[in-house]
Amino acid sequence: MKSLLVVFTGGTIGSKKQGAGIDVDGAGSYSLIEDYSNSKQRRQDVKLDAIQPLNLLSENMTAADWITLATAIRKVDLTPYCGLIVTHGSDTLAYSASMMSYLFASIRIPFVLTASNYPLEDARSNGRRNFANAIDFAAGEQLPGVFALYENDRREALVYLGTRMKQCESFTDQFGSPYDIPYGRMEQGSFIFQPDKRNPAPESLKQSDPKPWIWDVDSLRLDSSIVYIKPYPGLNYSFYEFGHNRPKAVLHDLHHSGTACAVEDGPYSLTQFIADCSKQGIDVYICPIKDRSDALYSSSLRLIEAGAIVIEKLSVEAALTKLMLAYGLYEQHAEAKAFATESILYYEHNEV
């Protein structure tokens, strides 16, 4: 008999319709196990244990909640378990998948996050299938590492490496991945690997011996003093006057070509904004850039010349969570910068 630990955090998969709205329900999460136990998809060789360190809709997730979740998992003796499954809300699933990937980069059992598009009682819900597929993946394949699993609108149960899941699209409710390459998919209870030069082979995951880095459950800090800015025509940086309550860093998103407004000065100038932040001791990162060694637009080069710190080959979701970890771990900005831009914890680099 294989034992799996299920970690409930709330989200739609643990919610019920209450009047005109949807909200987390105390019994909603645990009913998922009961539903699974009574379903045709149930594996007879699996025993499920459960804990619930959080019970919230994922749009309300904070850095403190990530610490609560990670600490609760670390305090469990995982020796009896062949894998663990975290049920989560879909709104911030990609961010949590990245953060858990960093914090549990050296885990030697499958760590699978999954979610649901609708409450379980809704006929449109994919929650039960996602949960069943997550169990099949964890118990069957036994791949060490952090993954996210979610069924798309074509009923394909896609498996993502935890640092390679992009946020759900607003209108389609579909998750993505850099280069649109998931790690694989589940078919009839079995994992099918997606062969690609960017994906580490399953055997390499099993054979790899990742360098463990140990964080203390009593002193883990994730710093949320990071401001994320998305570019658009007419973005006026004069509205970002931080005063005394200033962030430690800014993560500035880029257009698909790795650019943002690089006019010399004025309220719409990112180069001027970078210079102003530098004077205040605020680090400015730009992301995503596929490959810094590739030919860049002149506007991108001007941003770098102005002092922007490049985070290359990472999705914005992975970059943001890594910055929160970096500035939580290190007081010195130089050390945080080195951690964010030079370390590789869990396959977060998406090679060209």
What residues are annotated to the active site? 12
C-beta atoms surrounding 309 within 10 Å:
21
Give the C-alpha distances (Å, rounded to integers) separating 75 from 63, 71, 116, 218, 328: 18, 6, 27, 11, 20
Give the C-alpha distances (Å, rounded to integers) separating 227 from 83, 253, 283: 35, 11, 10
Q: Name residue 60's amino acid.
A: N
Q: Bridge partners of 8?
A: 87
CA-wise closest residue to 6 among 26, 40, 36: 36
Cα angle 46, 24, 91; round to 5: 85
Helix (H, G, I), strand (E, B) or coil at 299: helix
On the 0-12 / 13-18 / 19+ scale of CB atoms within 10 A, 283 is buried
Q: Bridge partners of 161?
A: 147
Q: Which helix (H) or strand (E) holds 274?
A: helix 270-279
Give the long-range contacts of residues 296-300, CB within 8 A, separation 24 or more: 296/258, 297/257, 297/258, 297/259, 298/262, 299/259, 299/260, 299/261, 299/262, 300/254, 300/257, 300/258, 300/259, 300/262
Q: Bridge partners of 150?
A: 158
Helices (H) and strands (E) counted in the chain, each on its own, are 9, 14
Give the C-alpha distances (Å, rounded to integers) separating 139 from 32, 38, 111, 129, 279: 17, 18, 11, 15, 53
Assess contact for 322 and 98: CB atoms under 8 A: yes
